[in-house]
Amino acid sequence: MTETTSTSPPTSTSTGEWLLQARGVTMRFGGLTAVDNVDFGVREQEIVGLIGPNGAGKTTFFNCLTGMYRPTSGQVLFRGRRLPPKPQAVTRAGVARTFQNIRLFNNMTALENVMVGRYCRTKSGAISAILRGPRFHREERETRERAYELLDFVGLRRAADHLARNLPYGDQRRLEIARALATDPSLLLLDEPTAGMNPQETREATDLIFRIRERGLAVVVIEHDMRFIFGVCDRVVCLVRGRVLSEGTPTQVQTDPRVVEAYIGGSEASAEEDSPAADKAAQPTEEAPLGGEES
């Protein structure tokens, strides 16, 4: 069902151009409103950053977009159609994600982890898999080739046979991206993809996101590393206490006094200030050049 209405995300200039639209999405847990009436949109091949202090509701919002949570109210449209709040249906529609807390199959190899991502697109059913007929073998071969190609794409071909649990942290994050790409998405949601990465790996992650866009995908990325966010995104949305505080180009958002306030010790600052993520967010002159000229 295609709908066009008055509640488009703030920067919409025309209808029909959004790949994904969230309208008035609210998520309550008991008395806590983690996501509060959020309008949000992503265009084809756009890279959008989602920032905000710890506990702002960023991950919860991703969970609402991907069917892990059924929003208390509001709706999510993908290519103009309502996305059912079921993870498998969301994946099949073309939305893939990675997780803030890496979720790999630790006792499987890197290659097998990517192949698992691919199975939502293969046609062989359980009977075919048990009988191991020609169709099963052909699909298995194609799935394997595609998985190798994706490992190559994220720079992990050499680690294809390594168990996921033995990979360094940065490699595990890239493996999650390869597995997400194996589902053939049009939109990729990344929840803190550079957390735990060193500066070199973070630069490579920037390059990887640009290459993902070149493959025709749109990307939404949650990160606390402001240098990374402002360097990679076309547009940035800042959430604070579940609400959109600021939205615009990287320059607009990084110079928005409300955003600076939210990050560097205003009343909105994180309640978990001793967490590593909060530390990163609270260093605008080194890790997080919020003011642009300051760094």
- Contact set with Mg ion (CB under 5 A): 58-59, 100
Structure tokens at 108: 């499987």
> Is the CA virtual torsion 97, 53, 168, 209 positive or negative?
positive
**Closer CB to ligand ATP, 113 or 254, in the complex:** 254
Question: Smaller CB distance to ligand ATP: residue 116 or 277?
Answer: 277
| Nearest CB to ligand ATP, comparing residues 142 and 273 | 273
Q: How many CB atoms lie within 10 A of CB 274?
A: 7
Q: Considering CB distances under 5 to 8 angstroms, the limit depending on partner class, which of ligand ATP, Mg ion, none binds residue 50? A: none
Partner in contact with 120, chosen from ligand ATP, Mg ion, none, beta carbon below 5 to 8 Å by kind:
none
Q: Decide whether 29 or 105 has the Cβ nearer to ligand ATP.
A: 29
Angle at 152 between CA 120 and CA 68, to 5 degrees: 35
Least Å distance, CB 240 to ligand ATP, is 9
CB of 66 to Mg ion, least distance (A): 13
Which positions ≥6 away from 259 have C-beta within 8 Å? 51, 238, 245, 246, 253, 290
State which residue, 38 or 156, has the beta carbon closest to Mg ion: 38
Give per-residue burial for 6-43: e unless 16+ CB within 10 Å, then b. Answer: eebbeeeeeeeebbbbbbebbbeeeeebbbbebbbbbb
18-29 vs 235-240, strand pairing mode: unpaired
User: Shortest Cβ distance from residue 192 to Mg ion (Å)?
Assistant: 7
CA distance 145 to 88: 23
Out of Mg ion, ligand ATP, none, which partner does residue 52 contact, by CB within 5 to 8 A per kind?
A: ligand ATP
**Minimum distance between the CB of residue 26 and ligand ATP, rounded to whole angstroms?**
12
In the list ligand ATP, Mg ion, none, the entry touching 60 (Cβ below 5 to 8 angstroms by class) is ligand ATP
Tokens representing 243 are: 């609400």
Which of the choices Mg ion, ligand ATP, none does residue 8 contact, using the CB cut-off of 5 to 8 A by kind? none
Report the residue number, 55 or 185, with the smaller CB distance to ligand ATP: 55
Q: How many C-beta atoms lie closer than 10 Å to residue 252's C-beta? A: 13
DSSP state of 83: P
| Residue 29 binding target from Mg ion, ligand ATP, none, CB below 5 to 8 Å by type | ligand ATP
Q: How far is the CB of 144 from ligand ATP (least distance, A)?
A: 35
Q: How many CB atoms lie within 10 A of CB 250?
A: 18
Pairing mode, if any, of strands 47-51 and 18-29?
A: unpaired
- Cα(10)–Cα(175) distance, integer angstroms: 34
Closest distance between ligand ATP and the C-beta of residue 259, in Å? 14
Residue 150 or 222 with smaller CB distance to ligand ATP: 222
Cα(290)–Cα(269) distance, integer angstroms: 14
Of 75 and 100, which has the nearer Cβ to Mg ion?
A: 100
Residue indicated by tokens 């402001």: 226
**What is the residue whose two structure tokens read 């997080």?**
288
Q: Which does 34 bind (CB under 5 to 8 A by kind): Mg ion, ligand ATP, none?
A: ligand ATP
In the complex, the smallest distance separating the C-beta of residue 282 from ligand ATP, rounded to whole angstroms, is: 12
Interface positions with ligand ATP (CB under 6 A): 29, 32, 34, 52, 54-60, 100, 277
Q: From the list Mg ion, ligand ATP, none, which binds 277 (C-beta under 5 to 8 Å, kind-based)?
A: ligand ATP
Q: How many helices (H) and strands (E) does the chain have?
A: 11, 10
